[in-house]
Each structure stands twice: as C-alpha cells, then as structure tokens.
Copies of this chain bind each other. A is one copy, B any other.
Amino acid sequence: MEIERKFLVLSDQYKRLGSSELISQGYLNSDKNRTVRVRIQGSKATLTIKSATVEISREEYEYEIPLNDAKELLNRVCEKPIIEKTRYKIEYQNFVWEVDEFFGDNLGLVVAEIELEYPEQKFNKPDWIGEEVSHDQRYFNSSLIKNPFKNWHPIVNKNL
C-alpha cells in the first residue's frame, strides 16, 4: 500500500538540502484503473504496478528487473514520451521529502512528495513547501505523458 501526499514548491531552496539522482520512466499502462511503470534510477531498474488511487492511497507492487530489459522496454515498448526528471531526497523532521524536477515537455514543473504510513499521519512541512495537489490528477506522472505541463493553462504556472 502506497500513501502519498503531493505539493508544489515555493522556492528552489530544496536543491541545497539533499542529494539528487536522475530518473527515466515510462508506462506500459497509464490508465485510471491501473498503471504499470518501468523506471531506471541510477543503476537500478524496477517494474511497478499500482492500482487505482482512492483518496491518497493505492496498492503498489514493485519488482527489480535487469537494467538492459528496462532500457529496451523504455525504448521499444513503453508509451511515448518517456518522462525524465531529477529527484532530490531531503530529510526533514524524520520524514523524507522527494522533490522531482521534470525535463522536456514538463520543464518547469517541480513537485514534492511525502510518503506516509497511514493516511491521517501528521507531519510538518518545510517552509519551501506550497499548495497541496494530491487530488489533482494532472500531476500524476501517468497523466503527464498525455497532457504535459507545457500544455497547461498559464495560470497554473504562476509560481514559477
């Protein structure tokens, strides 16, 4: 079970606070009811199945796969485009915040996520964390391949 909350960011302060890694990911299914994701992060490749999101929770099944399989799947089998982003990991008061800076057609989009153990779990937000967008489906990575950030109405980009 994955329980996640997602926020916009108010500044690029996070860049100085943690380590970063490049992520390439693509989808073998990106529909509303289930997603199947291929991801390369550093030298590790995974295949991840997620059920439909109910509120902020969904079931998640993740398997490590050979790096070469992942490269072939991203190049030849996944839906296009592939999503590329830099992920920063920042520790703050016993939680890890993951901040994703997107490239390509999603350039300019930056979102921060925190994973919880149960939906009502309390946490404090660093002061560079902005508006919550957990329930806005446009921010799902699986939505960004169909409707990338560059196509959104300019009003959404007002903070950037």
Contacts and interface: CB of A to CB of B under 8 A. Distances in A.
Interface of A: 28-29, 33-34, 36, 47, 49, 51, 59, 61, 63, 65, 69, 72-73, 76-79
B51 A61 contact: no
A72 B29 CA distance: 18
A69 B63 CA distance: 11
23 contacts: A28-B28, A28-B29, A28-B34, A28-B49, A29-B29, A33-B79, A36-B36, A47-B47, A47-B49, A47-B63, A49-B73, A49-B77, A51-B76, A51-B77, A59-B72, A59-B76, A59-B77, A61-B65, A61-B69, A61-B72, A61-B77, A63-B63, A63-B65
Given A49-B77, A61-B77, 13 more contacts: A28-B28, A28-B34, A28-B36, A28-B49, A29-B36, A34-B78, A47-B47, A47-B63, A51-B77, A59-B76, A61-B72, A61-B73, A63-B65
Contacts of A51: 76-77
A33 B79 CA distance: 9
Contacts of A59: 72, 76-77
